[in-house]
Amino acid sequence: MCKLKLAVIGSSGAGLPILNSIFRNMPRLRGAIVLIQHMPAYINQSVRDNLAVHTQMTVKLAEQDEWIKSGIVYVAPSELHLKIVSNLRIHLVGGEKVNYVCPSIDVAMKSLTRDSEIRVLGILLSGIGDDGVQGIGHIKRIGGETIALEKKATSIGGLTDEAVAMGHVDSVMSPEQIRDALIRHLGRETGKPDAGKQSAK
C-alpha cells in the first residue's frame, strides 16, 4: 500500500516562469510536492503567493518538523537546507552552502530513502551548475521516477544536460508534459476542492 505520493522539484535560474507554467490550473492532487527553488530569502513569500494563485493545491513555506501531507506544495525557505526525514517529515537545518546554495536540491533529494510505501517523482527544471544532478540520480537509485525539463524550454539548460548525460533521467519533458506527469503520478484529489487554501502561510 502507498502511504504517500511525493514529488520533489529542483529549480534554479530561469525556473520561476517555468514553475508558473507547470502550476497554472493545477488541480488539487492526492500527494505532496516539495519545491527547492534557488532564490533570495526576500522573495520566498511572493514566490509562494504567485504559485498559490495558479493551483488549487495549498502552497506554503515549509516549516520545521512538519509532517508532509497530501494536497500541499511545500516551498523550501531560503538560507536553510531542507531534508525529508523518513520520507514523511520536513527537517530544516542551517549550515554551509552546498554547491554554492542553501537550500541545496541535492541535500533535499538525497535525504529520501528507498521505501516501498512511498512513491517518489524527482523533477529537475533549469539552471546552471551541478546542484540537483546527484540528487536526481539518488531518486532514480531508490526506485523513483525522474524527469528533466527539455532544453528548448529554458535559457539555462546546463543542469539538466548533465543529469541526462549521467543517465539519471527517465524522461525529458516540456512544462506542460511535466504538469501532466505530476497529475498522473500524484492523482487528482476528489471531493475536497480547494480545501485549506485559505490557511496557507
Partner 1 sequence: MKDTVMVVDDDPMLQVTVRRILESANLKITTVDSGEACIREVENGFEGLILMDIMMPGMDGWDTIQTLVDKGLVKGNIICMLTGKETPDERMKMLKEYILDYIRKPFDQQQFVNLVKEYLSFL
| Residue closer to partner 1, measured from CB, 70 or 134 | 134
Contact between 12 and partner 1 by CB under 8 A: the answer reads yes
Interface residue with partner 1, options 24, 27, 80, 158 (CB under 8 A): 158
| Residue closer to partner 1, measured from CB, 48 or 179 | 48
Contact between 98 and partner 1 by CB under 8 A: the answer reads no
Which cell goes with 33?
510536492
Contact between 148 and partner 1 by CB under 8 A: the answer reads no
Interface residue with partner 1, options 40, 94, 167, 191 (CB under 8 A): 40
- Of the ranges 55-63, 114-122, 124-132, 189-197, which one interacts with partner 1 (CB under 8 A)? 124-132
Contact between 167 and partner 1 by CB under 8 A: the answer reads no
Binding site for partner 1 (CB under 8 A): 12-14, 16-17, 20, 38-40, 42-43, 46-47, 50, 78, 99-102, 127-129, 155-156, 158
